[in-house]
Structure 1
Amino acid sequence: MDKLKLRTSIEAARSSIPDERRHAASVRIRESLMDRPWVQMAGLIACYWSIGTEPATHGLVFALWKHGATVILPVLREDDDLDWAVYDGPDTLAPGRFGLMEPVDTRRGVDAVRTAALVIVPALAVDASTGVRLGRGGGSYDRALARVGPNVPTVALLHDGELLDGVPAEAHDRAVRYAATPDGIVRIPTDA
C-alpha cells in the first residue's frame, strides 16, 4: 500500500472512533508515559499540541509541565520546518499557521529540539520492526527527528491498530524508538 492510500485509510478509521473512546485512549497513553522513569526524569521535553483525531496531547502536555518539565512545542515555519517555543500553561497558546495552536513564547530555533531529553511526535502509523513513522506528508517531523541525538527517546503516539507490520518508507523518513498506544509503550527493536 502506498503512503497516500494508507493515510486515507487510517484517517477514515480515526474518524470512526467515538469521542469517548478516543478520550479514554488518550488518558491511557498519558498515564503509561507518565509512569516511565525516562519520562519523569526528562527535564526538557519536545511534544506537540494535538489536533483533530490524533491521540490527544493537551492533558499530557499539561501533566508534563505540572510535573516540572520544560515543554517545548512546535511552531510551524513558512518553509514547513519546525521552530520551537516553551509552553508555560494553557493560556500561553495562540493560533498559528493553519490554526495550529502554538506557544507565544520566544522562538528557540529549529535546533532547540537537539537539547530535548525526550521527543514526542505525532504519527498516523509506525512500522513495528523499523520504527519508521507515517506522518501527514509535510516532512516537518522528519526534519525535526533528524536533529535528535541517537540516545534520546523518541515516541510516536498512536491509536489501536496503527502499529503495523510494514509502513512505506522513503530515504528522508525518520524512525522513532517507541510507539505509545492505549495498550502501553512498545519499544521498537531496532537501532532507530
Structure 2
Amino acid sequence: MIEIDDKIVSADLLRECFACDLTACKGICCVEGNAGAPLEIDEVDTLEREYPNYRPYMTAEGIEAVERQGFMVVDEEGDYTTPLVDDAECAYACRGEGGVTLCAIEKAWQEGRTTFRKPISCHLYPIRLMRFSNGTIGLNYHRWSVCEAARTCGRKLGIPVYKSLREPIIRRFGEEFYRALEAAEELLKQQ
C-alpha cells in the first residue's frame, strides 16, 4: 500500500496491467454482478436531473427498472447503487455494435446531450474506492473473472492499471494526484 495525501493506494494499481478490450468482453461488467454500480451521493441528483438527456439511449427494460426502482437503490451494505434489470444488467445500459453493452449515460455524453459522463465508479473500474471512518479513501484493484481479457490486453501492451485509467483518476482526484501515482510507480521500479 502507498499513502498519497489522505488516500491509501494499492500497489497493484501500479504493478498490475489492465486495458479494457470491449471486443473480447462485450461490456459484460455492465451485465453481471450481484449489485449495481456504486454511486456517489451527489451523482443521485445528477442522474435524476439528466435523465431526460440519456433516457432515449436506454433499453425499454432499463427505463422500466428506473421508473419502478428509482434512480438508485440501496444495497445490502447500505450503499447507493444503480438499479438493475432482473437482478443482472445495469438499468443504464444500452446496446452498441456487435452486441457490446455500453452505458446509455456515456453515449449521451459522447453525443453532447449531457455534461455527466457516467458514474465515477464505472469510469474508474477496476479501481474500487473504499471509505474509512477517518475520512481516508482507499483505492483498490478489483479483480473480476469477466475482465481476464483486459488483464491479458494490458500485459500485452504493458499498461499499468492506473495508466489505463488516467482520465477517470484525474476526473475524480485531480492532475496532482495522478502525477503522484506516476512518481510512486517510478519509486517502485527502483526497488
Higher relative contact order (CA 8 A, sep 6+): 2
Give the number of the structure whose alpha-carbon radius of gyration is greater.
2
Higher fraction of helix: 2
* TM-score normalised according to structure 1 size: 0.28
